[in-house]
Amino acid sequence: MLKEMVQALTCVRYAVMNGGEILPKITISGHPGSGTSTLVKGICKSKNWSSLNGGDIFRQEAKNRGLSLSEFEKICSEDETVDRSLDEILKKHILDSDGHEVLESRLCGWWAYNLEVDCVRLWLHASEEARAERVVMREGLPLDVAISNNKQRTAVDKVRFEEMYGLNPEDTKPYTHIIDASDLNVEQVLAEALEILEGVE
């Protein structure tokens, strides 16, 4: 696995030295309900780009194993090595210079940072209230339940990522740009992201 990643990273650096086009162009991360998936769709439509998110990898791996999503989720929660294997797949995609322009997952910005991939690493911030309101609209939950669920998931993820990788997912160090979407509509968030991309292309 390490040998394959080194080879892939070498290919990326070779492309840089030779003026090749490097992918991904941007990684997008954020808490659940922050609007990352909506932003990804907007960027891809505006730029005619393709995208991949951690959920795609999860669903494909469940299919490969002949498992339902709930069955595979249970396995991931019980076996840390399975969860790690999904992150390794994502890292391969980050190092694929012929892959997707946009990558979306909670930790893809961290992986791109650690792998020294030269791309925009965007963290999409949204307040707890804003995120909960989006969950309410999407899932029909009461607002207080949505807020409680978001807080619980954030706490669980923080512990899990610290135990597995020794990193704090709330640390913004890996990100080149942060957009606060708390009081912005979909169009305003997209406009800010496109402006960031135009500034680095």
Domain positions in the chain: 1-126, 127-168
Residue 194: pLDDT band by 50, 70, 90 thresholds? very high
Over residues 28-78, the pLDDT tens digits come to 999 988 999 999 999 999 999 999 999 899 999 999 999 999 999 899 888
| Radius of gyration for the alpha carbons in the chain, expressed in angstroms and rounded | 17
pLDDT of residue 81: 92
Which segments of the chain does DSSP mark as H helices, in order? Answer: 2-17, 36-47, 54-64, 69-78, 80-94, 108-114, 128-139, 143-165, 186-200
pLDDT of residue 22: 57
pLDDT of residue 172: 93
Cβ atoms of residues 124 and 34 within 8 Å: yes
pLDDT above 50 for 18: no
Coil, helix or strand at residue 83? helix
pLDDT above 70 for 6: no
Say which range, 2-16, 68-82, 104-118, 141-155, has the weakest mean pLDDT. Answer: 2-16
Over residues 156-192, the pLDDT tens digits come to 889 989 999 999 988 999 999 999 999 999 999 999 9
- 197: buried, middle or exposed (CB in 10 Å: 19+, 13-18, 0-12)? buried
Taking the CA atoms of 174, 37, 199 and 12 in sequence, report the sign of the dihedral they define. Answer: positive
CATH 3.40.50.300 correct for 1-126 = yes
pLDDT above 80 for 3: no
**Mean pLDDT score of the chain:** 87
167 DSSP assignment:
-
Q: Interhelix angle for 69-78 vs 80-94, to 10°?
A: 110
Model's pTM, two decimal places? 0.84
